[in-house]
Amino acid sequence: GLKVATIGGGSSYTPELIEGFIKRYDEFPLTELWLVDIEAGKEKLEIVGNLAKRMVEKAGLPIEVHLTLDREVALKDADFVTTQFRVGLLEARAKDERIPLKYDVLGQETNGPGGLFKGLRTIPVIIDICNDMERLCPDAWLINFTNPAGMVTEAVLRYTNIEKVIGLCNVPIGIEMGIAKLLEVEHERVHIDFAGLNHMVYGLDVYLDGVSVKEKVIDMLTNPENTSFVKNVKGLGWEPEFIRGLNALTCPYHNYYYKSREMLEKTKKEAEEKGTRAEVVLQLEKELFELYKDPNLNIKPPQLEERGGAYYSDAAVRLITSIYNDKRDIQPVNTRNNGAIASLPDDSAVEVSCIITKEGPKPISIGDLPVAVRGLVQQIKSFERISAEAAVTGDYDKAVLALSINPLTPSDTIAKQIVDEMMEAHKEHLPQF
Ligand code: NAD
Ligand code: G6P
Ligand code: MN
């Protein structure tokens, strides 16, 4: 049989994943799905787990859904392990987003100080999971969705013995679907060559039925309406000169780097008026779990698409199916560079279009990144590496260093002040410091 273990099973995204497994059951005949959570997430796990059971039953498929707080039982002999956990829950994310704003620095889930601290909380846990996997399911693939996905994948590659790891994000698929919509064509006809890092990925070319339509798409991106591809980051629109000069497709998170001041002001204003994104999402999550409790609900409710991770199931299950069937189709994932992007270390995690085989993703070589984007990408990779090192060693200097070199931080002094305040705020989840 085929066994999948999902760590952080109490996530409101679980119905997304179940929908994906149901849709692709013909190609991936899953027999056992183990949803794992911790004591703090027990209630969520029960509610969403029971919805998962009803969804499978409605689909009439022989998939056993197990709910457990025992990670070892779940991991034992698993074929695939997916992770979607959040250490400290959304309350911790709200602190990541609020504290930096006091210092006039962006507060965001995966970028700047928020990204650093989410990494510091998450990396020790993923390393524990990897150590368990080595004992309990050494042949399994680890599909990591847990943010900051790029930094987490980097940490797994550098600090564990797990080599079969893939980091996954819904941003590339979201961009491809968004561009298809702008072009008014089916998603299947559009292909983008992706390269860069997680949440720092560029589309180097874009094709419709195999013919480049990059010029047309770049032109479309000069319209502010056309630059929002995920629900959680609304683009402000590019100066036409800038985007034409860049001559590459941007991802929504680039707004924080190329429109830093405007995005900081916008984030501060929103935090004041309606709360930070985590605070908004907390409310959305409450509403979702109220819906999930309804014993008559047996499908994924459309309200889930208001979350930034929409289409995650498509990305995750499509990836698992392609590995399982050795499909050799092309998908953008986070994997070991292996020389595909000349400007980045061979042994670092990169987000790049890959051929997906039963031996895993084979990154498609792109040579050097364009000179205009190379420096920023390298800077973010350095930030990720030093952050991961701080997370593993508990070295306080490294944490201050990581934030000081991040382009969203104005100085080493501000970096240190933010690190100090955030270390204190998160101390129960930072045992390594
Ligand atoms: P959430 O707050 O609902 O947390 C999910 C579950 O993780 C909770 O039920 C919680 O109890 C559990 N958890 C916490 N610590 C755990 C541990 N040590 N072991 C097992 N379970 C644990 O989070 P969410 O909003 O559903 O997001 C889940 C994760 O997915 C986050 O890390 C988020 O950043 C990530 N995410 C990634 C992408 C992407 O593109 N890669 C998109 C959306 C969300
Ligand atoms: C995006 C990103 C994720 C991020 C999420 C936030 O699409 O790819 O990495 O975690 O959305 O969504 P949320 O609804 O939690 O703000
Ligand atoms: Mn993402």
pLDDT tens across 165-213, in order?
A: 999 999 999 999 999 999 999 999 999 999 999 999 999 999 999 999 9
Could you give the ipTM of this predicted complex? 0.98
What number does the ligand 1 atom closest to the CA of 170 have? 40
Q: What are phi and psi of 173, to 5 degrees?
A: -65, -35
- pLDDT confidence of residue 302: 87
- In the predicted model, is pLDDT for residue 86 greater than 90? yes
What is the radius of gyration, based on Cα positions, of the chain?
21
- pLDDT confidence of residue 224: 82
**171 in contact with ligand 2, CB cutoff 6 A:** yes
- In the predicted model, is pLDDT for residue 228 greater than 80? no
- In the predicted model, is pLDDT for residue 331 greater than 80? yes
Q: What angle do CA 125, 131, 132 make, to 5 degrees?
A: 90
- In the predicted model, is pLDDT for residue 386 greater than 90? yes
Residues with CB under 5 A from ligand 3 (ion): 169
**169 in contact with ligand 2, CB cutoff 6 A:** yes
Burial class (CB in 10 A: 0-12, 13-18, 19+), 261: exposed
**170 in contact with ligand 2, CB cutoff 6 A:** yes
- Best probe residue, ligand 2, of 169, 232, 286 (max atoms within 8 Å of C-beta): 232
- pLDDT confidence of residue 201: 98
CA distances from 426 to 50, 58, 271, 383 (A): 32, 42, 20, 20
Catalytic: 253? yes
Task: Tell me how crowded residue 189 is: count the other CB atoms within 10 A of its CB.
Answer: 12
- pLDDT confidence of residue 233: 86
Task: Tell me the per-residue pLDDT of 359-368, one tens digit each, with 9 for 90 and over.
Answer: 999 999 999 9
Task: Tell me how crowded residue 396 is: count the other CB atoms within 10 A of its CB.
Answer: 14
- pLDDT confidence of residue 277: 96
Mean pLDDT to the nearest integer, 211-228:
90
Are the C-beta atoms of residues 302 and 308 closer than 8 Å to each other?
no
- pLDDT confidence of residue 231: 84
**169 in contact with ligand 1, CB cutoff 6 A:** yes
- pLDDT confidence of residue 313: 81
- pLDDT confidence of residue 235: 83
230: confidence class by pLDDT, cuts 50, 70, 90: confident
Task: Tell me how crowded residue 286 is: count the other CB atoms within 10 A of its CB.
Answer: 10
- pLDDT confidence of residue 226: 81
What number does the ligand 2 atom closest to the CA of 93 have? 15
- Best probe residue, ligand 1, of 6, 11, 87 (max atoms within 8 Å of C-beta): 11
**85 in contact with ligand 1, CB cutoff 6 A:** yes
- pLDDT confidence of residue 306: 85
Q: What are phi and psi of 190, to 5 degrees?
A: -105, 135
Task: Tell me the per-residue pLDDT of 95-139, one tens digit each, with 9 for 90 and over.
Answer: 999 999 999 999 999 999 999 999 999 999 999 999 999 999 999
- In the predicted model, is pLDDT for residue 150 greater than 80? yes
Task: Tell me the per-residue pLDDT of 387-425, one tens digit each, with 9 for 90 and over.
Answer: 999 999 999 999 999 999 999 999 999 999 999 999 999
- pLDDT confidence of residue 232: 85
Q: Measure the CA–CA gap between 311 and 313, rounded to whole angstroms.
A: 5
**7 in contact with ligand 1, CB cutoff 6 A:** yes
Q: Which of 202, 253, 257, 292 is catalytic?
A: 253
Mean pLDDT to the nearest integer, 51-74:
97
Are the C-beta atoms of residues 102 and 250 closer than 8 Å to each other?
no
Nearest to 142 by CA among 287, 419, 336: 336
Nearest to 33 by CA among 315, 316, 359: 316
pTM greater than 0.95: yes
Mean pLDDT to the nearest integer, 208-226:
92
What share of the chain has pLDDT > 90, as a percent?
92
Residue 281 CA: which ligand is closest? 2
Q: Measure the CA–CA gap between 69 and 294, rounded to whole angstroms.
A: 23
229: confidence class by pLDDT, cuts 50, 70, 90: confident
**89 in contact with ligand 1, CB cutoff 6 A:** yes
Are the C-beta atoms of residues 5 and 36 closer than 8 Å to each other?
yes
Q: Which residues contact 208 (CB under 8 A, 6 or more apart)?
A: 183, 185, 189, 190
Nearest to 405 by CA among 112, 199, 120: 112
Going by alpha carbons, the residue nearest to atom 43 of ligand 1 is: 309
Q: Measure the CA–CA gap between 383 and 151, rounded to whole angstroms.
A: 9
Q: Measure the CA–CA gap between 388 and 385, rounded to whole angstroms.
A: 5
Checking DSSP bridges between strand 329-336 and strand 141-144, what pairing results, if any? Answer: unpaired
| Residue 395 CA to ligand 2 centre (angstroms) | 29
- pLDDT confidence of residue 298: 93
